[in-house]
C-alpha cells in the first residue's frame, strides 16, 4: 500500500492528542478517550460548592430567565441563552484549562463557543425526545466530530428530577434517533460535569419529583469554521466583548479565519471600532506591520 494511503491526511483541525496530560489531577487524555469510545464522560466535582453558589446567585440576579415550553408544552422548563452578554460571573468556567483541554482533545484546538444555556427543569416537566445536537448542520453521517457539549450540574441530577438521558455509542450510528432505544440517565452531584459528542442521542428527563428542581449550565463548542447556533458576534455587544479576556474573545468568534475583515484580525477591527482602516489598503503598511 502506498504510504500516502497508510497515513491520514494531516490537518490543523484534528483533535489534539492529550495522552498522559494531567491538569489539576484530572487525566485529560482519559476523559477524551472515554468520549471518543462511548460518546460521553463524567467529570466529578468539576466546580466546588462555593463556585456553584456564586455563579447560581449571579445567574438568578443578573440573567433574565424566559419561560420556554418543553416537549409536551408543559411550560415547566425555564431557560436563558446568550449568557456571555449578560454576566461575567462564569467567564472563568469557559476558560478553565481542564475544559479547554478536553474540548481541544475532542474537536481540535480551532474551536469556538456554539451556544450557552442556563436551564431549570421544574417538577412536572416531561421528557425530551432523543435528539442529536449536531443534526442542525446537514453533514452526512458518518462524519468527524465537530461538536462537543458540556453540562454542569448546579443541583444534584437524579432520575427523579429528570437527569439527562444518553444513549452510549450512538455517536457512531448513522440512522436517525429511535425513541424506542434504551437510554441511561446520568445521575451526578452538584458541581459535576458530563460531556458528550454532539452526535450522541440524548434528551432531558422528566422531572417526576414533587418539589425538586434541576438547574444546569450548558456549554456547547464547535469547530471554528462552522456557523454557530447562537450568533455570538451579533448577540454580545461590542463594548462587552472589549472587556473580555483575550482567549474568551477568540472563543466567541473574534478569531482570524480566512481573510478576517478586509485582511485584518477581527480583534484589531474590534479595538479600532471601524470596518475599514484606510492604511490597511497599503501594501507598505502591511509589510511594515507584519
Please determine, for residue 23, whether its predicted confidence score (pLDDT) is greater than 90: yes
Alpha-carbon span 118 to 82, nearest angstrom: 9
List the grid coordinates of 183.
437510554
Which pLDDT belongs to residue 188? 98
What's the pLDDT band for 276 if we cut at 50, 70, 90?
very low
Domains of the chain in sequence order:
3-251 (2.60.120.620), 258-290 (no CATH)
- Tell me how far apart the terminal alpha carbons of the chain are, to the nearest angstrom: 43
For the stretch 53-107, pLDDT in tens is 999 999 989 988 776 655 555 778 888 999 999 999 999 999 999 999 999 999 9
Which pLDDT belongs to residue 75? 76
**Pair 43, 72: CB distance under 8 Å:** no
**Pair 220, 147: CB distance under 8 Å:** yes
For the stretch 246-261, pLDDT in tens is 999 999 999 988 888 9
Which DSSP symbol is given to 261? Answer: B
Which pLDDT belongs to residue 123? 95
What are the E-state strand segments in the chain? Answer: 22-23, 26-27, 40-43, 66-68, 77-81, 111-121, 147-153, 165-166, 184-185, 193-197, 202-203, 214-223
What's the pLDDT band for 2 if we cut at 50, 70, 90?
low
3-state SS class at 85: helix
Please determine, for residue 280, whether its predicted confidence score (pLDDT) is greater than 70: no
Strand order across the beta sheet in which 202-203 lies: 184-185, 165-166, 202-203
Q: Stretch 179-207: mean pLDDT, rounded?
A: 97
Residue 282: Cβ within 10 Å count: 12
Among 155, 130, 171, smallest CA distance to 217 is for 155
Mean pLDDT of the chain: 90
Among 107, 91, 117, smallest CA distance to 216 is for 117
For the stretch 219-238, pLDDT in tens is 999 999 999 999 999 999 99
Which pLDDT belongs to residue 205? 95
Which pLDDT belongs to residue 281? 44
Which DSSP symbol is given to 157? Answer: B
Which one is predicted more confidently, 284 or 66? Answer: 66
Helix axes 28-38, 97-107, angle to 10 degrees: 40
Which one is predicted more confidently, 173 or 288? Answer: 173
For the stretch 135-152, pLDDT in tens is 999 999 999 999 999 999
What's the pLDDT band for 169 if we cut at 50, 70, 90?
very high
Angle at alpha carbon of residue 60, lines to 55 and 64, rounded to 5°: 120
Which segment of 77-81, 176-180, 233-237, 273-277 scores lowest on mean pLDDT? 273-277
List the grid coordinates of 79.
431557560
Dihedrals phi, psi of 209, to nearest 5 degrees: -75, 170
3-state SS class at 256: coil
Alpha-carbon span 161 to 125, nearest angstrom: 9
Q: Stretch 42-58: mean pLDDT, rounded?
A: 97
Cis omega (within 30 of 0) on the bond before 2?
no
Q: Stretch 155-181: mean pLDDT, rounded?
A: 97
Amino acid at each position: 500500500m502506498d504510504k500516502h494511503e497508510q497515513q491520514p491526511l494531516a490537518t490543523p483541525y484534528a483533535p489534539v492528542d492529550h495522552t498522559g496530560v494531567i491538569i489539576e489531577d484530572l487525566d485529560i487524555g482519559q476523559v477524551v478517550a472515554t468520549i471518543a469510545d462511548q460518546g460521553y464522560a463524567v467529570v466529578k466535582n468539576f466546580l466546588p460548592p462555593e463556585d456553584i453558589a456564586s455563579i447560581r446567585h449571579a445567574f438568578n440576579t443578573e440573567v433574565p430567565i424566559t419561560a420556554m415550553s418543553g416537549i409536551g408544552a408543559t411550560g415547566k422548563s425555564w431557560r436563558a441563552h446568550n449568557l456571555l452578554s449578560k454576566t461575567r460571573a462564569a467567564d472563568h468556567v469557559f476558560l478553565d484549562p481542564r475544559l479547554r483541554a478536553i474540548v481541544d482533545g475532542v474537536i481540535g484546538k480551532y474551536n469556538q463557543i456554539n451556544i450557552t444555556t442556563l436551564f431549570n427543569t421544574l417538577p412536572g416537566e416531561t421528557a425530551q425526545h432523543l435528539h442529536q445536537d449536531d443534526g442542525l448542520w446537514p453533514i452526512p453521517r458518518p462524519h468527524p466530530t465537530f461538536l462537543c457539549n458540556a453540562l454542569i450540574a448546579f443541583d444534584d441530577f437524579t432520575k427523579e428530577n429528570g437527569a439527562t438521558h444518553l444513549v452510549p455509542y450512538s455517536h457512531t450510528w448513522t440512522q436517525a434517533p429511535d425513541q424506542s432505544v434504551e437510554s441511561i440517565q446520568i445521575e451526578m452531584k452538584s458541581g459535576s460535569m458530563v460531556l458528550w459528542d454532539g452526535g450522541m442521542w440524548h434528551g432531558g428527563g422528566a422531572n417526576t419529583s414533587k418539589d425538586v428542581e434541576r438547574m444546569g449550565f450548558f456549554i456547547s463548542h464547535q469547530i471554528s469554521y462552522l456557523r454557530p447556533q447562537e450568533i455570538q458576534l451579533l448577540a454580545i455587544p461590542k463594548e462587552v466583548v472589549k472587556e473580555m479576556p483575550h482567549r474568551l474573545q477568540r472563543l466567541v468568534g473574534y478569531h482570524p479565519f480566512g481573510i478576517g475583515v478586509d485582511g485584518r484580525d477581527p480583534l484589531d477591527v474590534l479595538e479600532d471600532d471601524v470596518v475599514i482602516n484606510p492604511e490597511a489598503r497599503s501594501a507598505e503598511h502591511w509589510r511594515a506591520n507584519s
